[in-house]
A = this chain, B = another copy of it.
Amino acid sequence: MRYSAEHKRETRQRILQEAARLFRERGLDDVSVADVMGAAGLTHGGFYAHFGSKEELIGETLRAVEGTSVARLRPVAEQAPPGQALPAMVASYLSPEHRARPARGCVVAALGQEAGRHSAAVRRGMAERARSLARTFLPYLPVRPDRSREEQALALAASLVGAMLFARLEEDPAAAERVLAASRRFVLEALGAAPQAAPAPKPPDAPPA
Residues of A within 8 A of B (CB): 26-27, 29-30, 74, 77-78, 82-83, 85-86, 108-117, 120, 123-124, 126-127, 130, 138-147, 151-152, 154-163, 165-166, 168-171, 178-179, 181-183, 185-187, 189-193, 196, 198, 200-209
Q: Cβ of A114: which chain B residues have Cβ within 8 Å of it? A: 27, 113-114
- Docked-complex contact B158 and A165, CB < 8 angstroms: yes
Main secondary structure of the interface of A (DSSP, over half): helix
Give Cα A121–Cα B159 distance, bound, in whole angstroms. 26
Give Cα A78–Cα B78 distance, bound, in whole angstroms. 46
Q: Within the complex, what minimum Cβ distance (angstroms) separates A55 from chain B?
A: 13
- Docked-complex contact A186 and B152, CB < 8 angstroms: yes
Known: A114-B113, A161-B166. A189 touches B190 (CB 8 A): yes
